[in-house]
Structure 1
Amino acid sequence: MSVRNQPRAGYISSIVEAGTATCRLYGPSKTNVADIALLLGKSPASIYKIFPSKAAIWDAIAGNFFETDLRFVASADLELANAACRLREAALGQHRLMLQARHGDHQMFKLVVLAAEGNWPSFRSYLKRLHADMARLIHDGIETQEFAPTNVEAAASCFCAAIIALCDPRIVGVLPSSHCEISAQELVAFAVASLASSNLASGSGLTDDDPMNLRGA
């Protein structure tokens, strides 16, 4: 099937898959569009008809990795737990995925570090998704009266800021080898416990203009 006749969405997916494979083989700094085209049996020009630049290709590859390998999905059993437990496990689960990528998928981890350092759209989408996931769980906790009534968006921003060291690849990438999940568990437990206090009940929290607000990242 020619590039012209191949469905656009399918070709985009093929480029991202080939780009991921070449990135894992050569690393993000040594992979080029010609390598991706060679793997696909296409020409670099055909790829540039889909993506306007090499940067756009790399961002798409990073975005796919954020949404697949770095997306925590709760088990069916966990979905039956209370909101505090689900919030705690979502944060720790996200951290474990980052650690797994750092140690087991080194070249792709390098790519998402670059995405974070460059504030690529893929990284900003990852932060927004993290915020949305935490906001949903916090909302559930307020509904079940586990957490104090508060501004959910502000609480989610505060919670994400508190655990950002566990979820930002730039920070995870420089964690000492002695780092273990016990410290992560303590940090998350502290952040979750703060939601049950009255400190947030007034609705105070981060605003859209605050530099620590992950929604505006």
Structure 2
Amino acid sequence: MYADSMNDKTPNTQHARGPADHSVRDRIVEAAREHFSHYGYEKTTVSDLAKAIGFSKAYIYKFFDSKQAIGQAICSRCLSAITDAVSESISQGTTPTDRFRRMFETTVATSVHMFFNDRKLYDIAAYSVAEKWPSAQAYEDHIRKTLMQIIREGREAGEFERKTPLDDTVHAIFLVMEPYVNPLLLQHNLDQVDEAPRQITNLVLRSLAP
């Protein structure tokens, strides 16, 4: 199995006590998502969210201890949409080589789709990377772990070289991929997404040849 969904990796600042609490948390997150989509993360305040839902600020703070905590919940959902799409694509791969290609190309394609269709929510993901939120760290960890699994499988299958230490190989490949899988950096490389992922994939696979 490849890395699990990120939803279980981002810590909640408050623990829900039952179904009613889950419902309230969901309402807060959905209201925040709508506001962030229209006005952006920076311009939205907890007071705005409270007014939209009909709650007091104090009541919202019973479930989230800050606006950042709400932003992290939304960010985790956005980034999980990417990792879920990648996991689905990888599951259809027939070889480690195929799975690596699917991993990189699907990550870029899904990220670009989010960028153009939900720009302000994508901006939250980019902001989370810049501010080193736990949700962003969980996303990076997910990519690294998935990459490590694919490289390990490729070595076991005889498709990839085994001389380079596994950790060094994974780290080097991630550095090459980072401009296109990191939301903060991808927005500066959009003019190259049609060709760069394929070219980078081919280069990496040639370097992995036994």
| Range into which the TM-score falls when normalised by the shorter chain | 0.7 to 0.9
**1:49-103 deviation line (CA, Å, top 9, x unaligned):** 1211122221222122111245433447953411111111101110111111221
Does 2:208 align with 1:191? no
**Higher mean C-alpha deviation, range 94-103 or range 36-45:** 36-45
For 1:100-179, list aligned pairs within 5 A. Answer: 100-149=113-162, 150-175=164-189, 178-179=191-192
Provide the rounded CA distance (Å) in 1 between the counterparts of 2:90 and 2:36: 35
Number of aligned residue pairs: 194
TM-score of the aligned structures, taking structure 1 as reference length: 0.79
Provide the rounded CA distance (Å) in 2 between the counterparts of 1:122 and 1:46: 24
Provide the rounded CA distance (Å) in 1 between the counterparts of 2:64 and 2:132: 19
For 1:3-82, list aligned pairs within 5 A. Answer: 6-69=19-82, 71-75=84-88, 79-82=92-95
RMSD across aligned positions (CA): 2.4
Query: For the Cα contact (< 8 Å) 1:101–1:109, is it kept in 2?
Result: yes
**Structure 1: gaps of 5 or more residues:** 198-217
Pairwise CA distance, 1:16: 2.2
User: Alignment partner of 2:42: what SS?
Assistant: coil
Provide the rounded CA distance (Å) in 1 between the counterparts of 2:138 and 2:17: 30
User: Alignment partner of 1:165: what SS?
Assistant: helix
**Structure 2: gaps of 5 or more residues:** 1-15
Greater share of helix: 2
Query: For the Cα contact (< 8 Å) 1:28–1:111, is it kept in 2?
Result: yes
Residues 163, 76 of structure 1: alpha-carbon distance in 2 compared, 3 angstrom cutoff: closer
Provide the rounded CA distance (Å) in 2 between the counterparts of 1:166 and 1:155: 18
Query: For the Cα contact (< 8 Å) 1:138–1:156, is it kept in 2?
Result: yes
Query: For the Cα contact (< 8 Å) 1:59–1:121, is it kept in 2?
Result: yes
Provide the rounded CA distance (Å) in 1 between the counterparts of 2:22 and 2:203: 43
Provide the rounded CA distance (Å) in 2 between the counterparts of 1:18 and 1:27: 13
Residues 29, 196 of structure 1: alpha-carbon distance in 2 compared, 3 angstrom cutoff: same
Query: For the Cα contact (< 8 Å) 1:70–1:98, is it kept in 2?
Result: no
**1:129-167 deviation line (CA, Å, top 9, x unaligned):** 110111111121112111122543332222111110111
Query: For the Cα contact (< 8 Å) 1:20–1:61, is it kept in 2?
Result: yes
Tell me which of the two structures has the higher relative contact order, counting C-alpha pairs closer than 8 angstroms and 6 or more residues apart.
2
Q: Percent identity?
A: 22
